[in-house]
Structure 1
Amino acid sequence: MKIEIPQSISFSEYTKLPYYPEDILEYFGYKLEKRAIAHEKGEIPPGTTALSERIKAYLPYVSLTSEIGKREFLIAPVLIELALSTQVQIRPEYPVKVSEQLRGSLDYLLTRNKQFIVIEAKDDNLQKGFVQLAVELIAVATAEDKQLLRGAVSIGTVWQFAVLDRENSVLTQDLNLYRVPNDLEEVMQILSGGLE
């Protein structure tokens, strides 16, 4: 289906468009696949169990009604623990501009060994967050000339991963959802594995 996307639009504005993710991806020349992804898994950072217990302990006392709250109390602690053990660089609010239709700020860009992972934080809607993540992955893959790029969308307590295969013009949305703090070890393994 042919869709019309404004000539000038930021990443976050894609969540307001009335189109399905498949149609937006097709506009940029990509196909959407939805399936379970067999992620390459890395090491579990040593502080993961302690972090999981800390999150369980403070969750009853933190109001998580905004994207900022989820970013500060659920997503950032995970990324900091990952950085402490893997020396990944965390670049919050990272600006990207490939064109007027591929521009904006990434919530988090993780980099290590010339590998990248894009993290999109959302308030409560994973599907809208996935649309934004998809466009961000296309932009970063284009800007950095990457053939394979990983990303994740998170509402803090739930994470969903994606893989962009630029060579085959396919974006795969993982059907698996990972809960934090319960599945924190797996989230850490997927993040560290994607940066090796």
Structure 2
Amino acid sequence: MSILKPERSYTFSDYFELNYPPEMILAELGYSYQLTKLDLPHGTVKHSLDTLQAMFYRKLPHISLNSEIAKREMMIAPILLELLDEIDIKIDIEYPIYINDQLKGTLDYWIHSLNSILIVEAKKSDLEKGFTQLAAELIAIDHYLPSDHSELFGAITVGDLWRFGKLDRTTKSISRDIDAFRVPLDIPELFKILVGILSHP
């Protein structure tokens, strides 16, 4: 049974809407999938994150987070802005990319330093389907970038929860981390991983 119809065009958002297991969808794009405990790079965080963490604890109870825009502006943006104080990065927001009619659309956040990471905000607070969309975007990046790095990293988030994924360019496999990181509780660990990925040679 073919899930992806050859006569249809698919944007990254369309992969979110497909009601099939990710391993079936990704197999049609030529990649395998597994849920596992990822050994993610960890970097050294040079400045204190206490202020950011305290800000979330103090202010989030007063903010209505019932829309994707609210989560982007109040939960994701502060983390990325704080990341700019830690490491020299470039952040592309809503970056358009076209590989073919099965892999096209815009990337929520594409962050570059020595390495890069994709960050996708999951629509409808659905991390499961959101990861399928992230995987499709990682596959597009695999086609788009020269093979300077053997691994590509991404993260799916609903604002207060982050989960990482990795694409191995040699084996054409995508792994989803079984662990998740909470905001604001796990901010120090989250930053170590983001810095580790972005500074990974």
Tell me which interval the TM-score lies in, with the shorter structure as reference length: over 0.9
1:57 aligns with 2:58: yes
Question: Structure 2 vs 1, CA of residues 11 and 82 (structure 1 numbering), >3 Å: closer, same or farther?
Answer: same
Match of 2:176 among 160, 173, 178: 173
User: Cα offset for 1:88?
Assistant: 1.1
Q: Could you tell me which residue of structure 2 aligns to residue 66 of structure 1?
A: 67
Q: What residue in structure 1 maps to residue 89 of structure 2?
A: 88
| Deviation digits for residues 127-175 of structure 1 (CA, Å, limit 9, x no counterpart) | 1110100000000111013431000000000000000001101100000
Alignment of 1:37-52 (within 5 A): 37-52=38-53
TM-score (norm 1): 0.95
Alignment partner of 1:139 is 2:140: yes
1:153 aligns with 2:159: no
Map of 2:3 onto structure 1: 3
Q: TM-score, normalization: structure 2? A: 0.93
Deviations 1:96-126 (A, max 9, x none): 111111011111000002x110000124110
User: Once superposed, what is the RMSD of the aligned Cα atoms?
Assistant: 1.3
Q: Deviations over 1:65-124 (max 9, x none)?
A: 1111111111111111111210111111111111111011111000002x1100001241
Runs of at least 4 residues of structure 1 off by over 4 A? none
CA contact (8 A) 1:154 1:160 kept: yes
Query: Alignment length, in residue pairs?
Result: 195
Q: Counterpart of 2:51 in 1: which secondary structure?
A: helix
CA–CA separation in structure 1 for the residues paired with 2:44 and 2:98: 33
**Stretches of structure 1 lacking an aligned partner (at least 5 in a row):** none
Q: Distance in 2 between matches of 1:30 and 1:37?
A: 18
Contact 1:15 1:131 in 2 (8 A): yes
Equivalent residue of 1:130, what SS?
helix
Task: Supply the AA of the counterpart residue of 2:3.
Answer: I
1:103 aligns with 2:104: yes
Percent of paired sites with the same residue: 38
1:45 and 1:82 in contact (8 A); partners too: no
